[in-house]
Amino acid sequence: MERLAIYLPPFASDYSGVCSALYELNCLIIIDDASCCTRNYVTYDEPRWTESTRSTFGSNLRTIEAVLGDEERLISQTIEAAQKLRPEFIALLGSPVPAIIGRDMNGIAREIEARSDFAALGFATTGFSYYNKGISAAHLQLFKRFAVSRISTAAKHVNILGLTPLDFSANDNGRDLIRLLEDNGFRINGSFWMQTELDQVRCAASAEVNLVVSQSGWAAARYLYRNYGIPYVAAAPLGMKHSRVVLEVLRQTAADKQNRVIKGAVSEDGGDLPMADKAEALLIIGDQIVANSLRTALRQAGCRQSITVASFFDLEPELALPGDLLLKSEKQLIKLLKSGIYTRMIADPLILGLPAAAGLKSYRLPHPAISSLLHWQDMPLFIGEEFEKTILSWSN
């Protein structure tokens, strides 16, 4: 019962993360489930669905098939659908029931590929992990399968990693980020996974530098660095001042090939900033890289309060400062809010609505992976003058 949630809803799951990453690609997505998981994704985890639907189907898994381990209908109907729709590849995703009975999604994908002329990828999603795991898996599988390895580096070309509506919504955040980079001398090599196509995946290894804008792009950045030597910057541009800093760091990284993570750790005079082990601290809850970037932007705006970043969606040690927290349950969060350490909090509106948060000064920052369609229309535009004003108001 440790992970029981009384106030917060289930967060976006790993299969929703994979679907979100693959949404704009010409692929056939099959979620192996009894249709409830597919409905959950298209209704609650995909803000783009009402604008343009994609080839995402549920397998309508039957009880007798689960009991007997019968995979033939899934394989034959997937091939039949692919022959009609002619996608560039097929993605086969697991859900809780296939995970419990031990269905081999990778093995089934190999069988589909062997019996058809379509590339097929299997994702061992379970519905028990969060969306960031699924987006991360999508990055890695597609790069490993489709990226061309022997390709020359293109100067000033940048890959954006970890860009999906589950962190940035389906407003203009993706377009604004692309415009910011292009207006400052960069060319978009690949925008993963908004404003994207499979040819960008094929050319991913030609980028001069990677910009990691969410934690779900972190594993891909490490993979591209290890295998192709592409350095990375881990930061999401926010407002105006912080965006200029990210652009400058991106230029430095492209020039000297040194990886950089912007955490908000150092003050203007070079000294270490105080951590959240003292009273009257500020708590930011969200994606780790977005929250790190907000901490940095608040420091630039003059905030001297101790700031802690916390996340339900993994906490990478290389991206964290001492005192940053991985939240494993609602119970842990409530205990944290009652500790008396924090006087202010920036988080999704559903988190701000916890009774334990009533005594804190709160600032709304919707996170679609948490509050879904309840608040994804309220997501602010991160780049520009308006969010700069928001940062200034939060820094006081």
Q: For 249-385, where are the E strands, in sequence order? A: 260-261, 281-285, 307-311, 325-326, 342-347, 361-364
Complete edge-to-edge strand list for the sheet that includes strand 325-326:
325-326, 307-311, 281-285, 342-347, 361-364
Q: Which residue has the higher pLDDT, 64 or 246?
A: 246
- Indicate the SS3 state at residue 281: strand
**pLDDT value at residue 396:** 85
> Would you say residue 160 has pLDDT above 80?
yes
**CB 73, CB 65: distance < 8 Å:** yes
What is the set of domains in the chain, with CATH numbers?
A: 14-129 (3.40.50.1980), 147-261 (3.40.50.1980), 281-395 (3.40.50.1980)
Q: Which two tokens stand for residue 311?
A: 């996340």
The whole-angstrom separation of Cα 323 and Cα 18 is 31
pLDDT band at 267 (very low <50, low <70, confident <90, very high): very low
How much is the average pLDDT of 107-115?
A: 97
pLDDT band at 5 (very low <50, low <70, confident <90, very high): very high
pLDDT digits (tens, 9 = 90+) for 287-328: 999 999 999 999 999 999 999 999 999 999 999 999 999 999
The whole-angstrom separation of Cα 19 and Cα 204 is 20
**pLDDT value at residue 275:** 43
**pLDDT value at residue 41:** 94
Please state whether 302 falls in left (phi above 0), alpha (psi between -120 and 50) or beta: left
The whole-angstrom separation of Cα 23 and Cα 93 is 13
Type of residue at 376: W
**pLDDT value at residue 279:** 59
Q: Which two tokens stand for residue 219?
A: 């594993």
Q: What percent of the chain has pLDDT over 90?
A: 88
> Would you say residue 274 has pLDDT above 90?
no
pLDDT digits (tens, 9 = 90+) for 69-86: 889 999 999 999 999 999
With 0-12 / 13-18 / 19 or more C-beta atoms within 10 angstroms meaning exposed / middle / buried, residue 199 is exposed
Where is average pLDDT lowest: 32-41, 225-234, 343-352? 32-41
For the chain, the average pLDDT equals 94
pLDDT digits (tens, 9 = 90+) for 374-396: 999 999 999 999 999 999 999 98
Q: Which residue, 269, 138, 233, 276, is CA-closest to 194?
A: 138
> Would you say residue 268 has pLDDT above 90?
no
Q: Mind giving me the DSSP string for 5-67?
A: -SSSPPPPBHHHHHHHHHTTSSEEEEE-SSSHHHHHHHHHS-TTTTT---SEEE----HHHHH
> Would you say residue 369 has pLDDT above 80?
yes
The whole-angstrom separation of Cα 219 and Cα 235 is 14
| Residues recorded for the chain | 396
